[in-house]
Amino acid sequence: MPVIEYIEAIRTAMKEEMERDERVFVMGEDVGLKGGVFGATKGLQQQFGELRSLDTPLAESAIAGVAIGAAMAGMRPIAEMQYSDFMFPATNQIISEAAKIRYRSNNDWDCPLVIRAPIGGGVFGGLYHSQCPESVFFGTPGLKIVAPATAYDAKGLLLAAIRDPDPVLFFENKKCYRLIADEVPEGDYTVPIGKSNVMREGSDITVIGYSMPLHFAMQAAEELSREEGIEAHILDLRTIQPLDREGILEAAARTGKVLIVHEDNKTGGVGAEVAAIISEELLYDLDAPIRRLCGPDVPAMPINPPGEKHFMLNKDKLKAAMLDLARF
Amino acid sequence: MPVIEYIEAIRTAMKEEMERDERVFVMGEDVGLKGGVFGATKGLQQQFGELRSLDTPLAESAIAGVAIGAAMAGMRPIAEMQYSDFMFPATNQIISEAAKIRYRSNNDWDCPLVIRAPIGGGVFGGLYHSQCPESVFFGTPGLKIVAPATAYDAKGLLLAAIRDPDPVLFFENKKCYRLIADEVPEGDYTVPIGKSNVMREGSDITVIGYSMPLHFAMQAAEELSREEGIEAHILDLRTIQPLDREGILEAAARTGKVLIVHEDNKTGGVGAEVAAIISEELLYDLDAPIRRLCGPDVPAMPINPPGEKHFMLNKDKLKAAMLDLARF
Amino acid sequence: MTQIGSVRNETRHAALGLTDEKVVRMYEIMVLARKFDERAQLLQRAGKVNFHISGVNQEPAQVAMAFAMDKEKDWFLPYYRDYAFVLSAGMTVKELMLSLFAKGEDPNSAGRQMPGHFGCKRLRIVTGSSPVTTQVPHAVGFALAAKMRGEPSVSLVSFGEGSSNQGDFHEGCNFAGVMKLPVIFVCQNNGYAISVPFSKQSAGRISDRALGYGFPGYRVDGYDPFEVYRVFKEAHERALAGEGPTLVEVMTYRVSPHSTSDNDMAYRTKEEVDFHRGKDAIPAFRQYLEEHGLWSEEREKALLADIRKEIDEATEYGERAPFQPVQDAFRYVYAEASAEEVR
Amino acid sequence: MTQIGSVRNETRHAALGLTDEKVVRMYEIMVLARKFDERAQLLQRAGKVNFHISGVNQEPAQVAMAFAMDKEKDWFLPYYRDYAFVLSAGMTVKELMLSLFAKGEDPNSAGRQMPGHFGCKRLRIVTGSSPVTTQVPHAVGFALAAKMRGEPSVSLVSFGEGSSNQGDFHEGCNFAGVMKLPVIFVCQNNGYAISVPFSKQSAGRISDRALGYGFPGYRVDGYDPFEVYRVFKEAHERALAGEGPTLVEVMTYRVSPHSTSDNDMAYRTKEEVDFHRGKDAIPAFRQYLEEHGLWSEEREKALLADIRKEIDEATEYGERAPFQPVQDAFRYVYAEASAEEVR
Ligand SMILES: Cc1ncc(C[n+]2csc(CCOP(=O)(O)OP(=O)(O)O)c2C)c(N)n1
Ligand SMILES: Cc1ncc(C[n+]2csc(CCOP(=O)(O)OP(=O)(O)O)c2C)c(N)n1
Ligand SMILES: [Mg+2]
Ligand SMILES: [Mg+2]
């Protein structure tokens, strides 16, 4: 299987699905000739024309709202938000509309829409090009939310998202775009929405997370295995709504010591729900308090390099937290 | 002390603070002559004039955004969102702007703003006049969020919110407006933001929550005490951001059995964070898994009466859950 | 009493391409909508239903705009006062009553949403919500889909003048303007947004906003249904011809309180309301029909009797019909079949 | 070189009420802004800073609008290309360099925000963010505060033509129109929003949108700083006289790529860019000054030398200055003094 970059996996998923299904199209700011500010839609306009790789006016509520209309009309829009930081103007369309269309119409209407948005920092983007907005949308019934960490999952989950009959927020990590590359099958396959994935087996501690920080966890785990003989069990949630309860409980039970990691700030994040689920179901199987290692409770990371570094998770921070938990 | 209604406490706080501080004004849809759709601003326009009880165009992003500008300019705006369901168009202004103004300017600018919004169902309001939007804004550093359950706290917290140097979301429960009345001092007092309050002392189980469901818990607790000799310890968070960690841990430790309640849907709600905090710090003091009794993970409640009743929490649901936990 | 040749050419409706049958049908629906609305108000006052939001006085314009549309091909995104519009589109009084009583059989939402929150795929009526103006970009999305698929379909979206001040109005109109999409934006300017008069909602004319989006905007007298029809017919033709969107501001007046929860005497006078009530276009429309030999006292009586029967039966049906069972209250958050199967 | 009587009346600047000193100062700031921008581009290419977003070609209009404002009383909400504007408002090159290098002493954000994200209470420059157009309602809020307090203060807010398609533009303009607030909305129409040409952003003129909000809108040639000054001066006077807002669409062109991260040759041609670069208003302004005896080759040389020195020193200072210490990186999420004390 060819090894391709995470962003290439995303691009390929869109391209292949647009070839397969003419209802599928992408829309967003600069997705046309420029191919997106990160290049995720590069070549799509050349191949599919201006309408199916549609440069929109600079207006996110319209991007979401027009996509919702098109989805209700039977199309399969993929709406790109240039940065997830800029999807907040579309909140009302996402939460009040997309999430509630099927429910409020008692299944008469549906909204098969994908909204792609790059999350995460570490690219010197400053406050507004680095955020993780998961906690804002998490907990809104009617939405599905995925956040792949690997190229394989990125392609498979994006194909699943496009084919899903309900609205899916697809949070791609901009730091992963070119840093992460792995084996990705050519052609069609899907990764099921709602299923977590064990990235690494281990018996000492369990790390549960999603997106970029898992790569730090994997690196730290290798070092801890080598240096300390500590074996970490690592679970990639992949889908953050609906959460894979069984997968979470199984992974937590495996070691009895849980560290939850995400880049979104700690309070009110997805990790709180993961902790709550475990403490609701597995309390007596735990050998240590449930810990979370997350972004600090600060509005967003600064652009100056020391400040950014101070804010971001990295392998060393993960390693220290994992070691500390193992020793508990 | 006079017993007044919850909504009257809110109205009085605004009136008294507008008398005390001429920088304070209210703005929103129908807040003028009509006095708000619930009557919370009744009489203010007559007393303070059109500018200080300002009917705005029907545009929530502008209501928030203009209020933010006025706050930065040194005023003390109270922006009313007619229903919290309708504050989502203002999400970008609240999360990207109000919450980040102090931080991004390194303390050069600030945003002393209060946004009032009625939450909660049980008034046959259907999907869009019944929601609890807490989870959307919870977890956004830079915001403070309060949600009083009593008239006393409503007045004291609103005065504290208006005087707070940072943006405060003030979630008032529309079911409480006329149902809840209690003793409220005349004149000036504040309830500190960030401090929870023990509503009832008990030694068997701990109930932690905020807003309307606490009244169901109190009723259930009285019955359980009478009928079963079970004594519930009930903690009103009052402020949901920043959470009162110490208050939570103390209340949880008190009985070792915790039930968290809120009307907002369960997944991703404030209760998840409360559970996570407890499981992070108090794991070994617990005698039962941490339970949550919340709104179902459904977009919003239906308007038909049986459907609404099925959706809403009530005394009986609380009582059953509390009894079950006590018996664990 | 259809006549031929020269005579037909002289009538206003014939000049607009409306047959006698159609113009009579328009009248019947105006009256039906009015009577439904009055009944709904009574039911609310009698405590049989919790809530009603009225479209009284706006019906003639609503019927006229609906008749300019193609029921088989167009898409409709009405707002909560558009009873006369959805009745024209084919919704029945029984269905409206099921919605008013929030019953399970209600095609709009199975009694989940408030009355006036329309949606019915069969009738090409797109599901709507309470937060105002969100439907505007949706209509643009329907028009975009029509353009992409090469379908001769126009979408029509209604909203109030207060609602036209939401960002979604601007973003939706601008998007449609850039892409020259087949959509008609209808602002029903009834003078108030709850208690707030138009003078506090906007200092300009809503119709003038079209200029900034590069398409035509018209202000039209809502008391003149023929003129309303003409403007919408033209807008419809422009849309089908690929000439893009049109914004129409229909000038009308909300004679009822905002909803049954509102006391409008807190912010306006009875005189003001009565003045506008006196401009009601329904009697004038009847007079027009009578003058052209298309209507009579007997037909009026028969119509009223029919409508009364229809509404009585619908009321009874709606009142007796069961609510959606609570075991279904949490269904359809997501598709029930798996993604796999739906594909 | 100031002359008296009839001669003064003949100059364009004098007719506009601009003294010789002022018009010379305008020129100096235009050149200063240009040179700062060019240096910033060099520093980015040399890898000394990560990012720069350029205002080249838009400076003459920015300076002209700033000079029409009252630095002591007005409020300024510039956007990220407004270097020449904030320099006119009193920010120093050193401060801009501190921001470019993201250093702790940067008054805009202590190196937290991207360069171009201005904010400085001392200079009445309101803190801005990246999500476009959010500053528009803020400016309206400043104008509302001025009206409430009876202060003779106008707020000016800038944004791009792409950004004018956000809902916040509409909501902010409409709000200000209804309340006749003292605010000037400035759309700097530079033809592109990143890669998207104006033709795909809007099918109308931005200035025409003012009509729908009930206040005047003007389109003005950004290459004619005197005309820009005139329009803003008039808008400022209207605002102070209680006549309400003005929308000004300044026609210009973005000759740089969107930012240093952008490759503009993917979506436009070098010819197009060069054509517009040729219209640069700075040389014409210099020529005007020379024609009126206000400028000379020597003064030009001296200016360039001064500027070079200022920029060199600022660069060195910025480069050497310390970052905000990481122990302060998480400060000021909330006020540090308790609410009690701040009261
Ligand atoms: C986003 C949003 N804000 C507030 C409301 C509450 N609300 C319902 S109708 C209404 C007034 C609407 O006025 P207008 O658009 O003129 O329509 P009309 O009711 O007059 O027909 C308001 C404020 C809402 N439904 N949605
Ligand atoms: C809400 C939002 N969406 C997207 C972006 C990303 N973005 C930054 S600048 C820009 C283009 C702005 O174009 P325009 O308003 O014309 O200003 P210009 O850069 O041309 O001066 C975009 C899309 C953003 N900053 N904010
Ligand atoms: Mg209205
Ligand atoms: Mg531009």
Using DSSP, state whether D205 is helix, strand or coil: coil
Nearest CA to ligand 1 atom 20: C193
B53: which strand partners? B26
Whether the predicted pLDDT of C8 surpasses 60: no
Segments forming the whole domain that contains residue B34: 3-183
- pLDDT per residue over D196-216, tens digit each? 999 999 999 999 999 999 999
Assess whether the C-beta atom of B84 lies below 6 angstroms from ligand 1. no
Residues A143 and A215 in one domain: no
Q: What are the DSSP E strand ranges found in A122-265?
A: 144-146, 168-173, 181-183, 197-200, 205-209, 232-236, 239-241, 258-265
Residue-level pLDDT at C343: 39
Residue-level pLDDT at D10: 76
Whether the predicted pLDDT of C342 surpasses 70: no
Residues A147 and A233 in one domain: no
- pLDDT per residue over C20-42, tens digit each? 999 999 999 999 999 999 999 99
Q: Which ligand is nearest to the CA of D258?
A: 2
Chain B contact for A194, CB < 8 A? no
Q: Which residues of chain B have pLDDT under 50?
A: none
> Which residues have CB under 8 Å from B311's CB, separation 6+?
B121, B295, B296, B298, B301, B302, C329
Tally Cβ neighbours within 10 Å of residue C19: 12
Q: Is residue B188 part of a domain?
A: no
- pLDDT per residue over C227-286, tens digit each? 999 999 999 999 999 999 999 999 999 999 999 999 999 999 999 999 999 999 999 999
Whether the predicted pLDDT of C199 surpasses 90: yes
Residues B117 and B44 in one domain: yes
Nearest CA to ligand 1 atom 26: C131
Alpha-helical runs (H) found in C180-296: 209-213, 225-240, 270-277, 281-291
Nearest CA to ligand 1 atom 1: C131
Q: Which atom of ligand 2 is nearest to the CA of A128?
A: 25
Cα–Cα distance for residue pair A155/A151, rounded to 1 Å: 6
Nearest CA to ligand 1 atom 12: C193
CA D252 / ligand 4 centre spacing (Å): 9
Catalytic, D267? Answer: yes
Q: Is residue B101 part of a domain?
A: yes
Whether the predicted pLDDT of C340 surpasses 60: no
Residue-level pLDDT at D337: 75
Residue-level pLDDT at D9: 57
Residue-level pLDDT at A62: 98
Nearest CA to ligand 1 atom 25: C131
Mutate to test the interface with A, among C144, C163, C342 (most CBs of A within 10 A): C144
Whether the predicted pLDDT of C341 surpasses 90: no
Q: Which of C165, C168, C194, C198 to mutate to test the pocket of ligand 1 (most atoms within 8 A of CB)?
A: C194
Angstrom distances, CA of residue C83 to CA of A10, A194, B322, C59, C90: 45, 41, 47, 8, 11
Residues A170 and A207 in one domain: no
Give the closest residue to B75 by CA, choosing from B27, B29, B40: B27
Per the prediction, chain A carries an average pLDDT of 98
CA A289 / ligand 1 centre spacing (Å): 49
Residues A265 and A290 in one domain: yes
Mean pLDDT score, C56-66: 98
Chain C residues within an 8 Å CB radius of D245: none
Across the A:B interface, residue pairs with CB atoms under 8 Å apart total: 161
Q: What is the CATH number of the domain that holds B208?
A: 3.40.50.920
Residue the block writes with tokens 């004018």: D164
Q: What are the DSSP E strand ranges found in C104-245?
A: 155-160, 183-189, 192-193, 196-197, 217-221
Q: Is residue A189 part of a domain?
A: no
**Joined tokens for residue B138:** 């919870």
Cα–Cα distance for residue pair A145/C297, rounded to 1 Å: 62
Assess whether the C-beta atom of C262 lies below 6 angstroms from ligand 1. no
Per the prediction, chain C carries an average pLDDT of 95
Q: Please name the helix (run of DSSP H) or strand (run of DSSP E) that holds residue B325, with its range, or none.
A: helix B315-327
Residues A258 and A142 in one domain: no
Enumerate domains of chain C plus CATH numbers.
12-342 (3.40.50.970)
Q: What is the CATH number of the domain that holds B109?
A: 3.40.50.970
At residue D316's C-alpha, the angle toward residues D310 and D319, to 5°, is 135
Residues A32 and A175 in one domain: yes
Q: In the structure, what pLDDT confidence band is assigned to residue A1 with cuts at 50, 70 and 90?
A: confident
Residue-level pLDDT at A270: 98
- pLDDT per residue over A126-152, tens digit each? 999 999 999 999 999 999 999 999 999
Residue-level pLDDT at A118: 98
> pLDDT exceeding 70 applies to what percent of chain D?
96
Q: Which atom of ligand 1 is nearest to the CA of B89?
A: 1
Crossing angle of helices C59-67 and C281-291, in 10° steps, is: 60
Q: Which atom of ligand 1 is nearest to the CA of C58?
A: 21
> Which residues have CB under 8 Å from C124's CB, separation 6+?
C71, C74, C75, C76, C89
Chain B residues within an 8 Å CB radius of D336: 107
Q: Is residue B11 part of a domain?
A: yes
Q: Is residue A9 part of a domain?
A: yes
Cα–Cα distance for residue pair B221/B200, rounded to 1 Å: 9
Using DSSP, state whether B263 is helix, strand or coil: strand
Residues B152 and B211 in one domain: no
Chain C residues within an 8 Å CB radius of B129: 114, 130
Assess whether the C-beta atom of C55 lies below 6 angstroms from ligand 1. no
Whether the predicted pLDDT of A103 surpasses 90: yes
Residues B282 and B162 in one domain: no
Residues B34 and B88 in one domain: yes
Chain A residues within an 8 Å CB radius of C182: none
Of B132, B152, B183, which residue sits at a domain end?
Answer: B183
Whether the predicted pLDDT of D342 surpasses 80: no
Q: Is residue A191 part of a domain?
A: no
Of A153, A183, A213, which residue sits at a domain end?
Answer: A183
Alpha carbon of D270: minimum distance to chain A alpha carbons (Å): 16
Q: In the structure, what pLDDT confidence band is assigned to residue C177 with cuts at 50, 70 and 90?
A: very high
Of B183, B217, B232, which residue sits at a domain end?
Answer: B183
Cα–Cα distance for residue pair D301/D295, rounded to 1 Å: 11
Cα–Cα distance for residue pair D116/A209, rounded to 1 Å: 35
Q: Which atom of ligand 1 is nearest to the CA of B88?
A: 1
- pLDDT per residue over A210-264, tens digit each? 999 999 999 999 999 999 999 999 999 999 999 999 999 999 999 999 999 999 9
Residues with CB under 5 A from ligand 3 (ion): C 160-162, 190, 193
Q: Is residue B215 part of a domain?
A: yes
ipTM: 0.98
- pLDDT per residue over A46-95, tens digit each? 999 999 999 999 999 999 999 999 999 999 999 999 999 999 999 999 99
Residue-level pLDDT at C338: 56
Residues B170 and B267 in one domain: no
- For A91, which of B91, B283, B290 is closest by C-beta distance? B91
Q: Is residue B191 part of a domain?
A: no
Whether the predicted pLDDT of A188 surpasses 90: yes
- For A280, which of B270, B290, B300 is closest by C-beta distance? B290
Alpha-helical runs (H) found in C200-280: 209-213, 225-240, 270-277
Nearest CA to ligand 1 atom 13: C193
Residues B87 and B204 in one domain: no
> How many domains are there within chain B?
2
- For A302, which of D131, D202, D329 is closest by C-beta distance? D329
Q: In the structure, what pLDDT confidence band is assigned to residue C337 with cuts at 50, 70 and 90?
A: confident
Q: Which residue ranges have their beta carbon within 6 Å of ligand 2?
A: A 29, 58, 60, 82, 86, 89; D 81, 130-132, 159-163, 188, 190, 192-194, 254, 258
CA D244 / ligand 2 centre spacing (Å): 27
Assess whether the C-beta atom of B86 lies below 6 angstroms from ligand 1. yes
Give the closest residue to C164 by CA, choosing from C207, C126, C195: C207
Q: Which atom of ligand 1 is nearest to the CA of C79?
A: 21
- For D102, which of A129, A298, A304 is closest by C-beta distance? A304
